[in-house]
Structure 1
Amino acid sequence: MDSQVFVVSGCREIAAEAGWIFELIADPARQPSWDGNDNLSEAPTGQRVRAEGAVFTMTLTTGGVRDNHVVEFEEGRRIAWMPSDHGHEPAGHLWRWELEPVGDGRTRVTHTYDWSRLTDEKRLVRARSTTEAQLRASIDRLAELAERG
């Protein structure tokens, strides 16, 4: 029986409104400032995600370019994308952000990495090593920015 975990999540409350937190997530140019994996270098401005089916481009710290295919979108509440090498189809892993207002200007933020459909052998080692702590690092950095306003 395979005991491999294919879905990893981290969660915490942030003292900020869901709409503001969502702006930080849905604007790829802001993502390197809160990336807890230190994997993202930069993204061109003007790519703010507004719908499922959008594709935004990100340059990695390694210099590679990634296309991110948005597969889930609910303004202010949920966004998920599947990365791919530039110009290629997604490899089968997914990054999801879910925001739930909990009152008094606070929001429960859940960050999930799902690699249950990953087909790219080159990415398996890194996928297996992705932990809740890494996801929480992104949430914690996001919280620092969001709480400063």
Structure 2
Amino acid sequence: MSSNERVVSASRDIAAAAERIFEFVADPSSQPEWDANANLSAAAPGQRVHAVGDVFVMTITTGDQRENHVVEFTEGRLIAWKPSEVGKDTPGHLWRWELEPLGPTRTRVTHTYDWTGLTDERRIPRARANTSDTLLASIDRLAAAVGDQT
């Protein structure tokens, strides 16, 4: 399998300011309501991401918790994290959100799942299930959450 097949991405323009959209992406407590990955259950409030090195905790639908280690961050524009089991090293996959302002009330949102560095063989079937369509579904749900009517 080539590395290109291990990076999937989707983009969509949303009729909302980048700053408004970013607040939803950077606040893990809101993510279970709009993420279409169907594996997030909850996240405690007060974990808003501010910098590379931040770690936020999510509860997944199995009841287990995941630590998400922020590895890329630009306020209002970019956030990426690598999930791991609590207290363990990340197995190497990455979720990224990029926001490109197209004007004061329009933003191009790109969501990427990169599993080129995935080292846990047990996670490969789940990684393969993440397609551009599933990523776009998350963007669509995020658009609805921020009030985009397009």
Q: TM-score, normalised by structure 1?
A: 0.96
Q: Distance in 1 between matches of 2:67 and 2:51?
A: 15
1:39-78 equivalence runs, <5 A: 39-78=39-78
2:138 matched residue in structure 1: 138
**Structure 2, unpaired ranges of 5+:** none
2:94 matched residue in structure 1: 94
SS of structure 1 residue aligned to 2:147: helix
- The code of the aligned residue for 1:21 comes to I
1:97-136 equivalence runs, <5 A: 97-136=97-136
**Structure 1, unpaired ranges of 5+:** none
Give how far 1:130 is off: 1.1
Q: Percent identity?
A: 62
Asked if the contact 1:14/1:147 (under 8 Å) is kept, the reply is: no
Q: Distance in 2 between matches of 1:31 and 1:131?
A: 19
Q: How many residues align?
A: 148
Give how far 1:104 is off: 4.6
1:17-56 equivalence runs, <5 A: 17-56=17-56
Q: TM-score, normalised by structure 2?
A: 0.95
Give how far 1:109 is off: 0.0
- The code of the aligned residue for 2:107 comes to T
Q: Distance in 1 between matches of 2:134 and 2:45?
A: 26
Q: Distance in 1 between matches of 2:90 and 2:52?
A: 15
Q: Distance in 1 between matches of 2:37 and 2:48?
A: 21
- The code of the aligned residue for 1:76 comes to G
Q: Distance in 1 between matches of 2:104 and 2:89?
A: 41
SS of structure 1 residue aligned to 2:81: strand
Q: Distance in 2 between matches of 1:134 and 1:25?
A: 17
Give how far 1:121 is off: 1.1
- The code of the aligned residue for 1:7 comes to V
